[in-house]
Amino acid sequence: MMGEPPDKPSPPVVGKVAHDIVELHWDQDVTIESENSQGGRRRYCIQEQEERQRKEFGNVYNGFSRSHVFRGLEPNNTYQYRVRVSNDFGDSPWSSVITVTTTKVPLIGRDIHRAILNWEIDKLEAFLNESEDSLVNVVDDLGMSPLMIASQKGYSSIVETLVEHGAQVNYSNASGKTSMMLACFGGHLSVASYLKDHGALLDPKDHGGSNALHWAIDGDKEDIVKWILECGANVDELDDSSWSPLMRLANLGGSAAVAKVLIEGGAQIDRPDKTGTTPLMAAAVNGNIEVCKLLVEKGAGLTLTNKYGRTPLEFAESFDRKDVVQFLKNTLEGKLPTTED
């Protein structure tokens, strides 16, 4: 008895759809036994038509499988598919057409980071609103969260947007840095104040033992150092090098204006580090004449020695800090300076 070609099949069934793939299934109910009794192994042809191209259907699959993943598709584009079945006796009619639209390209953290760096707040808000998975806390290649990037830059409107979308205000990266530390280092008082009002802490330390006050000292910004102290920070908090903020300033070449804020905030003038070095000694080594003058004016010990028996004057002489040497000699001889000298 002569066999017959397959009947018209049902249209393909859509499986997974992404921005660049479409998964289709077809003829799932057919068994090997039914194939053998109905004209041999069934072969399938899938045709595709892309809406934007407005071309005729073209073959995109030929074979025996009853499913296939079509890759390399355009994002947010509409495609049509149909299937035809063949056996030993011929071809079926084409199935009805199904229509599938691929998704948009998924947003990634890099999109968020780029919008922040370019201060594109409208684009940032659109990204945060349309992303299926929250990207507000996705870190960049350096472990910086979006909020850390914005805080470092001082982009207050973007900081507010990120916090409103659930940014973690106390997130710390692999080195222990936080958004608050970076805002303080940059001297971005409005950002730091906003972060604090929304739960950010000033006390946490990074892996070098530095908290927000230490970072503000490194940034050498007078107003933010004063604000941190007004918030109740310990003016003599030590980092892992046993440096107080005043000692840190003296070692890093900070300004006399910031040093004055620390001193007026109660900083111990002669608090030494673990080697017995005082802020005046450190300022003398670095040739920071203005800080030396301020420290002396506020009562810093001129004849104190570190663990190796060296005085501030000897530190200055060993590094050939001529201005500091002359100043300290004059002071020791009773010629009292002022910060205006």
CATH number where 146 lies: 1.25.40.20
User: 166 and 89 in one domain?
Assistant: no
Same domain for 215 and 270, yes or no, is: no
Give the pLDDT band (50/70/90) at residue 271. Answer: very high
Could you say which of 198, 230, 262 is where a domain stops? 230
Predicted model pTM: 0.71
Answer with the one of 73, 102, 131 that is the final residue of a domain.
102
Kindly state whether residue 337 falls inside one of the protein's structural domains: no
pLDDT band at 339 (very low <50, low <70, confident <90, very high): very low
Confidence at 52, pLDDT banded by 50, 70, 90: confident
Question: Is pLDDT above 60 for 1?
Answer: no
Q: 334: which residues sit within 8 A by CB, 6+ positions away?
A: none
Provide the β-strand partners of residue 63. 44
Residue 133 above 60 pLDDT? Answer: no
Say how many C-beta atoms besides its own lie within 10 A of residue 114's C-beta: 14
Mean pLDDT over each residue of the chain, to the nearest integer? 90
Assign 143 a pLDDT band (cuts: 50, 70, 90).
Answer: confident
State the residue range of the domain holding 201.
107-230
Whether residue 38 is predicted with pLDDT greater than 80 in this model: the reply is no
Per-residue pLDDT of 66-84, as tens digits, reads 999 999 998 889 999 999 9
Are residues 113 and 222 both part of a single domain?
yes
Overall domain count for the chain = 3
In the chain, where do the E strands start and end?
Answer: 13-17, 21-25, 43-50, 58-63, 67-71, 78-87, 90-91, 98-101
Q: 141 and 116: one domain? A: yes
pLDDT at 83: 97
Give CA–CA dist 3/14, Å, rounded: 31
